[in-house]
Amino acid sequence: MINGRTIICIANCWDYDPTSKHQVMKVLARRNQIIWVNYRGSRRPQASVADVTAAVSTLRAVVCGARRVSDSIIQVTPLVIPGAQCRGLRALNEHLLVAQIRRVLARLPAAAGGPVQLWTFAPDVSFLAGRFDEECLLYYCVDEYTAFEDFDDRAVGAAERRLIEQADLVVTTSAALYESKQRLHPRTFLVRHGVEVDHFAAAANRELPLPRDVADLPRPLFGFFGLIHHWFDLDLLAAVARARPAYSFVLLGDCLVHAGDLTALPNVHLLGRRDYQDLPAYCSAFDVALLPFRINEMTRNINPIKLREYLAAGLPVVSTPLPEVLAYEPDVLTAEDGDSFCRQCDRALTVNDGQARRRRSTRLAGESWEAVVERLGEIVGSFAKSKSQTVEQSKKCGLGVLTG
């Protein structure tokens, strides 16, 4: 287990729904000091309401400065220019980011110090390598960023390659990501996501009070939670909802795409984002969970955390055939088109008894975030040991030359 370090985490959106970076850092924070850096340099901002709102929120956070969100986690939102393209602005961004992180490091109490490690979930921060005298630079790769619609694929691809060259370790979260990144770095590892087991297992026995906004909907109830964006197959779900008018479909999460055709259907309910703490209650209400994602280069590389959250809650899942879901068959039923998706939804209802729900939840017991961090600790520890041995060997070789 990693212990007594100051870990600089380059990520984003501390105050949004918890993702892998949040979960990993929360576990690490039990024994280490975390500096969480809300970094928004990768993505080009758009002239949209969502991006304008995000920009205003970011400016407020910048003005507020570094703030402690727990005894061992400090959040800082640095002043940078998102999507900067010209060389001068990029250089200014780099200078600002380094200076602001160093300022936070300098203000840490001596007792909270310890060797520094740099962990980045962002693909375009190679310029941070070596700037904090860190003992380890770890790139934690959770997505194929070149496949995102709002990223400059050439620029982010080149930036990621530079980062991988500088990194000591590369951690990937899907087999597809591992295959592509291990060609670029010899110390690349596959560490799949975990799940907050106890949080979601509370739904397996269906004993939680049902949320009011779904309690009176016609059953059966098919549910999804998460961000609804370009990877979500709205057309597929609309076709399924039309074909099964007696089924209710509930979507929880911010919707960043036009969903007019879907919302017009009387049995589809877009309820907006719900707090993470409330998700088990919704899972208790769901009969079946859904993962209707498009199949493309981006989704072939993802490993959706919500898959494990659904299963830890005991839910059967119907999904498009994402590579990372196939290992969970038959608890996950896959389908590529509307007709087969409908049939799999029908089938999922037949395997939703209490015993099946408890079995699914129990199956996920060994996939906790604590187990993930334990594995990460082994990887970092092995690297540190190897690095130490190399240094010692170099010293011996040097001594041999001097005394020979």
> Within 10 A of 51 (CB to CB), how many other CB atoms are there?
17
Among 307, 366, 359, which Cα is nearest to 333's? 307
DSSP for 302-323 reads ---HHHHHHHHTT--EEE---G
In the three-class reduction of DSSP (H, G, I as helix; E, B as strand; rest coil), residue 138 is classed as strand
Residue 13, pLDDT score? 85
- Sequence-ordered strand ranges (E) for 308-391: 317-319, 332-334
Flag residues of the chain having pLDDT under 70.
41-65, 82-85, 110-113, 391-392, 394-404
Among 376, 372, 279, 367, which Cα is nearest to 331's? 367
**Span 146-165, pLDDT tens digits:** 999 878 899 999 999 999 99
DSSP for 142-202 reads -S-GGG-TTS-HHHHHHHHHHHHHH-SEEEESSHHHHHHHTTT-SSEEE----B-HHHHHT
Question: How many CA atoms are closer than 13 Å to the CA of 142, on its beta-carbon side?
Answer: 17
Asked whether the whole model's pTM tops 0.85, one would answer: yes
DSSP letter, residue 121: S
State how far the Cα of 268 lies from the Cα of 247, in Å rounded to an integer. 9
> Within 10 A of 159 (CB to CB), how many other CB atoms are there?
21
State how far the Cα of 212 lies from the Cα of 324, in Å rounded to an integer. 33
In the three-class reduction of DSSP (H, G, I as helix; E, B as strand; rest coil), residue 368 is classed as strand
**Radius of gyration, alpha carbons of the chain:** 23
- In order of their start, the domains of the chain are 6-194+370-396 (3.40.50.2000), 197-363 (3.40.50.2000)
State how far the Cα of 371 lies from the Cα of 369, in Å rounded to an integer. 5
State how far the Cα of 94 lies from the Cα of 152, in Å rounded to an integer. 19
State how far the Cα of 248 lies from the Cα of 269, in Å rounded to an integer. 8
Question: How many CA atoms are closer than 13 Å to the CA of 214, on its beta-carbon side?
Answer: 30
How deeply is 4 buried, as exposed, middle or buried, from its count of CB atoms within 10 A (0-12, 13-18, 19+)? exposed
Q: Kindly give the interhelix angle for 234-243 and 338-348, rounded to the nearest 10 degrees.
A: 60
Assigned token pair, 54: 């995000």
Looking up tokens 């209490």, which residue turns up? 354
Contact of 251 with 229, CB cutoff 8 Å: no
Contact of 113 with 73, CB cutoff 8 Å: no
